[in-house]
């Protein structure tokens, strides 16, 4: 998803049960690192939203 400079986006991570495990609002970062070392192994969904739309990606922590 394209983001304009200085546009706010919300990043949310959900576990496989749909429970919100992480949430953060970011501004104009091109890349973002999230420490998931404390998360249990399993499937997660990363949802990034801003005024232009929403992007959802799956990832597995092993």
- pLDDT value at residue 3: 44
- pLDDT value at residue 1: 46
> Which tens digit of pLDDT belongs to each residue from 13-39?
999 999 999 999 988 667 788 999 999
In the sheet with 9-15, reading across from the earlier edge strand, the strands are 20-26, 9-15, 42-50, 53-61
* pTM as predicted: 0.81
Length of the chain: 62
For residues 45-61, average pLDDT: 94
42 in the Ramachandran plot: left (φ > 0), alpha (ψ -120 to 50) or beta?
left
Provide the token pair at 27. Answer: 């501004």
């Amino acid at each position: 998803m394209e983001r304009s400079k200085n546009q706010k986006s919300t990043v949310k991570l959900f576990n496989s049960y749909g429970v919100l495990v992480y949430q953060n609002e970011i501004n104009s970062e091109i890349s973002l690192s999230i420490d998931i070392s404390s998360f249990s192994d399993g499937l997660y969904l990363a949802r990034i939203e801003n005024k232009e739309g929403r992007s959802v990606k799956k990832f597995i922590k092993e």
